[in-house]
Amino acid sequence: MTAATSDPFFHGSAVTLEGRGVLMIGPSGAGKSAMAAELVSRGGLLVGDDRLQMSHEPQGLFAAPRPGFEGQLECRGVGILTVPHTRRARIHLVVDMGREERDRLPPPREILLLGCKLPLLHRAGDGHFAAALMLQLQMLDP
């Protein structure tokens, strides 16, 4: 969200696992919805896909789905799926799906969103990234 727009929504997808949320950001076609589908298939709950309502609160950054699209996940080549979901979640981790990780052991990174500093990962290009994200979420404080 920027001051230059009156759009109250943030472009991204979010999933939560046991009270720990991950926000996927990046350009259209970067794999945000695909990663959300993968995480939900592994036991996560969809917070929202494509457009999210974000809010900075004393406890941290929170995401909610766009009204009327609760539990709706767009899967390219399949269609809109209704998946297990939640109405709101605190975000603990951000993944920039538009940037591929080049380092085998990347340095710690942070991103500032709506005044909240959060750990930031870049998309890893191999088949274990969804599993690694699930493990990373389990390690974070709820």
| Residues annotated as part of the active site | 11, 32, 50, 104
> What residues contact residue 22 under an 8 Å CB cut-off, 6+ apart?
14, 15, 16, 39, 91, 92, 93, 94, 95, 133, 137
**Tokens at 105, concatenated:** 């052991």
How many Cβ atoms sit within 10 Å of the Cβ of residue 88?
15
Return d(Cα 90, Cα 75) in angstroms, integer: 24
